[in-house]
Amino acid sequence: MKEKQQTIDISAEELEALIERVQRGELEPGDAEIIQAMAETISRLTAALDEKDMSIKRLKRILFGSKSEKTEAVLKDSESNQKRDEKTKDEEGPGQGDKEPKNEKPKGHGRNGSDKYTGVERIRVEHGELKPGDRCPKCLNGKVYEFRRDNPVVKLRLTGSAPVQGKAYELQSLRCNLCQEVFTAAMPEGSGDKKYDASVGSIIAVLKYGSGLPFNRLEKLQENAGVPLADATQWDIEEKKADLIYPAFDELVGQGAQGTLVHNDDTVMKVLELMAENKEIGQDPENESRTGMFTTGIISAIDKRRIALFYTGRNHAGENLGLLLLHRDPDRSPPIQMCDGLSRNVPEQFATILANCMAHARRNFVDVAEAFPDECRFVLKILRDVYRNEAIAKAQEMSDEQRLQFHQSKSGPLMEKLKSWLKGQIREKKIEPNSSMGQAFTYMLKRWDKLTRFLHIPGAPLDNNVCERSLKRAIQHRKNSLFYRTLHGASVGDMYMSIIHTCYLNDVNAFDYLNALEEHSQQLHENPERWMPWNYHEQLGRQADDGQTV
């Protein structure tokens, strides 16, 4: 129970008299109790102000985001800074600065090489005056030969244009002066039989659902470039394309359900259709239906591939994960599930090996670092070392078993040290349990087993960052487009986001992939498993070998 605060009533005259007695050093009986009560009041007021200040900082982080949560940025000093602070300028000696030498950046750092421009048309330019075998015009004795054919000199020339371009074919028409029959020229070979090529729907989808560009903004962009494309027309194109490529999404769902590791989380979303339902629910006092709207992001890892799936509607992340696992092979063992500590992220009808996000536990200490710098420094530096071990494991491409043994030997002692310290701080009553710091302690200790799955289960991750990054696509859509109009529109958006982000996670060009899905829609419907982002190139190669149009 919370200790009841002692209350002492004292008037202004009595307080002034107390101050005079303290100045003279002549305290009377009862003065010590008054001073103690005043000190406790000041302490509580200071703590309350700190709590309020931290709440405001949390709100600012939610609204505007944080610049950095790196340990050095949070604590405002690194170990190197501390070492430099221990030295005085006299001890450093002449010519010694307090700046560490910086690594020189390689020439051309940050620039893309010509090989990165895979989408440009490549034109070979022959030498205008010489050809292989000709006499050298300088020495007149030697002969020139082909040089750097595999690595030629490349000059880039880039031009701007609208995302959607086109050609207008002006067909000549001839009419007989006697019978009045009209003869119109045929369309050139290869011009296609559709007004909107498959690439039109692909580029709109990548811009809208992959980069967050709303239909109305693209409409303005196209209008300024002289190729009008109304927002309603864009939606019609995307809806028709979705009917042609949806088996790819269904196959991603089926394969994603078999994942050995699943990440899930959700974010709020607006759907006008559901918002209209909420008005009706609010008018009926007896209606207790759910009014929340969410987009759930699920990242499933299987066989070194990662599949991204998005679901928008009333369901929470745990409910959507449960619906996904309905497609799971019953003979497969339960997957490792990574999420934050909210109970709504856990499916009720399916068993998973639950792991909690270390980044969420760490963020609780980041939030209170200014009020409790010493305590937070201890926690954050230990977690920094654990994440460094994780970076080493990734850099060395360790297997799940090797990574587990590495963390057990390197990170295990660090986490045990942290756990003992957390318990000691609480046991020795150095931390107020109801303070923000106390809540950070409680959050971590309460979920300790789930936070440290990476020390006991092969393949268990440290955090849920990959899922939170994927949800930025939905957040970007909410920020720019504000809402979905209907649940049908949301389901179309979820399908495109899932396909595009899955391509991103597997280093596949989403634009080319969407083109291939529409151009080979019939084959996709027959064998969707052959048209996944990681194997569709093989299928295109087979069709090219068979002489089919690709």
For 506-532, write each residue's pLDDT tens digit.
Answer: 999 999 999 999 999 999 999 999 999
Q: H-helix or E-strand containing 54?
A: helix 31-64
**Identity (one letter) of the amino acid at 386?**
V
Residue 135 gets which letter from DSSP? B
With bands split at pLDDT 50, 70 and 90, how would you rate the model's confidence at 56? low
- 442 alpha carbon, distance to own chain's centre: 28
Residues 309-321 pLDDT 10s: 999 999 999 999 9
Average pLDDT, integer, range 122-134? 86
pLDDT at 335 over 70: yes
**Torsion angle in degrees (nearest 10) through CA of 541, 542, 544, 548:** -140
Q: For residue 103, what are the contacts with CB-CB under 8 A and spacing of at least 6?
A: none
- Of residues 549 and 496, more confidence is placed in 496
Q: What is the DSSP letter of 30?
A: T
Residue 217: count of CB within 10 angstroms of its CB: 15
Write out the two tokens for 298: 């699920």
| C-alpha dihedral (321, 326, 327, 331), degrees to nearest 10 | 110
What totals of helices (H) and strands (E) does the chain contain, helices first? 20, 7
Angle among Cα 411, 416, 419 to the nearest 5 degrees reads 125
Rg of the chain in Å (alpha carbons):
33
Q: What is the DSSP annotation of 425-487?
A: HHHTT-S-TTSHHHHHHHHHHHTHHHHTGGGTSTT--S--HHHHHHHHHHHHHHHHH--BSSH
DSSP state of 271: B
Q: Which helix (H) or strand (E) holds 253?
A: helix 231-256
Residues 6+ apart with CB under 8 A from 393: 402, 403, 406, 407
Asked whether 186 and 202 are in contact (CB, 8 A), the reply is no
CA atoms within 13 A on the CB side of 68: 7
State the pLDDT at residue 93: 44
pLDDT averaged over every residue in the chain: 86
Helix (H) / strand (E) containing 217:
helix 215-224
Q: Tell me, rounded to whole angstroms, the distance of Cα 237 from its chain centroid.
A: 28
Give φ, ψ of 191 to 5 degrees.
Answer: -80, -10
96: Cβ–Cβ under 8 A, 6 or more apart, which residues? Answer: none
Query: Which pLDDT value is given to residue 7?
Result: 67
Q: What confidence category does residue 5 fall into, taking pLDDT thresholds of 50, 70 and 90?
A: low
- What is the spatial distance between Cα 338 and Cα 272, in angstroms, rounded to a whole number? 31
Q: Which helix (H) or strand (E) holds 268?
A: strand 261-268
Q: Give residue 76's pLDDT.
A: 64
- For residue 301, list its beta bridge partners: 261, 306
Give the per-residue pLDDT at 499: 97
Q: Are strands 336-339 and 353-356 parallel, antiparallel or unpaired?
A: parallel
